[in-house]
Structure 1
Amino acid sequence: MLSVRLPKDLETRLDFLAAQTNRTKSFYAIEALTRHIEELEDIYLSEKAYKEFLLSGEEALSADEARKTLGL
């Protein structure tokens, strides 16, 4: 179960869409999350991994160095 407080303008738009299409607001909330969760995961999890890499002190390789190391 998830409870979300929406900004008034977004709630108004969601109410209108639901009323015009005879679907529930929950239907559209699930639809929006389903369509965008992968993008959000990519953004925030890669940002987290990058910060962890920076804190690790490991040395980064250039793309050319990485290809050479991997024999590509």
Structure 2
Amino acid sequence: MSRQTAVRLTDETYERLKALAEKTGRTATFYIREAIEQHLEDLEDLYLAEQTLAQVREGKERTYSLDEVERDLGLAD
């Protein structure tokens, strides 16, 4: 299922998007969807990292050194 939404773009952004779509034979919708999906992934990763950092600072989560990880996985020399 997909939903439709509206996005307001500056004239400059719209023209750039339109030019890219024309040059590549793809639709503007394709590039809008791709940009949103990629940026959402980045934002989700950032949010998770910020939450984890806060938990580490509060002592609720611990970090592991590379030596510890290698040892625990049997990768140490």
Give the structure-2-normalised TM-score: 0.50
Q: Secondary structure at the match of 1:66?
A: helix
Deviations 1:4-30 (A, max 9, x none): 222332211112233455653213323
Equivalent-residue separation in structure 1 for 2:25 and 2:66 (angstroms): 52
| Higher RCO (CA-CA < 8 Å; seq separation 6+) | 1
- Tell me which stretches of 4 or more aligned residues in structure 1 moved more than 6 Å: none
Question: Which is richer in helix?
Answer: 1
Give the structure-1-normalised TM-score: 0.52
1:40 equivalent in structure 2: 42
Deviations 1:19-48 (A, max 9, x none): 4556532133234446x3685267425424
**Identity across the alignment (%):** 29
Gaps of 5+ in 2: none
Which residue, out of 49, 52, 55, partners 1:53?
A: 55
